[in-house]
Homo-oligomer: A and B are copies of this chain.
Amino acid sequence: MYAVIMAGGKGTRFWPRSRQKRPKQLLNIVGRRSMLQQTVARITSLLPPENIIVVAGEDHGKEVHNQLAELPKENIILEPVGRNTAACIGLAALLVQQRDSAAVMAVLPADHLITDEELFRATLRAAVARARLQPALITLGIRATTAETGYGYIEAGEQVDTVQNHGFYKVISFHEKPDRERAEQYLEQGNFFWNSGMFVWQAGAILEAMSSHLPGLYSDLQKLQSFLDTGDSEDGISRIYPDLESISIDYGVMEKADNVLMIPADFGWNDLGTWASMAQIWPKDDQNNVCQGEIMALDSRQNVVFSRQKLCVLLGVDDLIVVDTEDALLVCPVHKAQDIGKILDVIRQRGMEEYL
């Protein structure tokens, strides 16, 4: 078994805490270690470090190497540019297959929060066992507990079988982020699961699926393969990777393939998409304010505050996000959490690159 950790995200909606040089997955948004470190630590009892491959952005190479000193250096793959999840997974599948042509690989984003790590590992183990049986594309579906509008959904069909006490289901279809009303319908129906972006499959199976559904990408990956074969992987990546098709694995493969299975997961999951999601993570005071740092909330409710370096006093304000960092301070309403990434466009327009 191999694990491929996708650590190429930008996390711009966590600005000003997340920066170009330090995106969300490299920060300790929750807990003491970075999200990337937590993602690795979560699986070290499942497989040896040599079998953990991390794909990250070139800009973050040094930081990723520092944070993951326990991994073999050659297991940290740096993308010269981001090319979405299909290219990233395709490259990783080539690398895994090169080491073990029959290997099963788990694909894990580096910026998710998981509460019940034991159950997470059990789920992963079952999925790996199931993937060994046949070249299915297995996706982990998180059992919806609230009518979330910030997640994509997987609509599950009939159960196919059970492995290690975990059921495996056919997938009827994938659904984009719904509006509130539709999300409530999904929740009520019961067979809708949050799309976690975590997958388990044989490396050969996903490459096979790419050859069917993303032939252009697959053909470019073949060119990359020839560099890998001659031990010139860095050279190959720097030459070929920037030209790879940029498409998500969901859109490019999962929604089209007919050998997709879903394993329901109940291990407590949150993709920490925005500061607003901290309301579900950080402890609440009796006025439903959540914070990291020292805050004094007077006549103030449902605020999300990050202020580790100083006392933050809120007086008579509700539903605000307040983020204080060394060189930048952000104040915006919780309902604008999704728009925080747009601030970076303005920063760029105004030539204030030091704040990116």
- With both beta carbons as reference points, the residue of chain B lying nearest to A320 in the complex is identified as B331
User: Roughly how many angstroms separate A352 CA and B311 CA in the complex, as a whole number?
Assistant: 10
Given contacts A316-B333, A317-B320, A333-B317, contact A328 B343 (CB under 8 A): no
Number of copies: 2
- The interface residues of chain B lying within 8 Å CB-to-CB of A316 are 332-333, 336, 339
Given contacts A296-B343, A343-B296, contact A322 B329 (CB under 8 A): yes
Chain B residue at smallest Cβ distance from A330: B313
Give chain B residues whose Cβ lies under 8 Å from the Cβ of A339: 315-316
Asked whether any CB of chain B lies closer than 8 Å to the CB of A298, the reply is yes
Q: How big is the A interface, by class?
A: 20 to 34
Q: Is A182 among interface residues, defined by CB-CB distance under 8 A?
A: no
Min Cβ gap A253→B in Å is 36
- Asked if A74 lies at the interface with its beta carbon under 8 angstroms from chain B, I say no
B329 touches A315 (CB 8 A): no
The A338-356 residues at the B interface (CB cut-off 8 A) are 339-340, 342-343, 346-347, 350, 352, 355
Taking CB atoms, residues of chain B closer than 8 Å to A331 are 312-315, 317, 320, 322, 331
8 tightest A-B CB contacts, nearest first? A315-B332, A316-B336, A311-B328, A312-B329, A313-B330, A310-B327, A314-B331, A316-B332
Listed A/B pairs (16) with beta-carbon separation below 8 Å: A296-B343, A296-B346, A310-B328, A311-B328, A311-B329, A312-B329, A312-B330, A313-B329, A313-B330, A314-B331, A314-B332, A315-B332, A315-B336, A315-B340, A322-B329, A331-B331
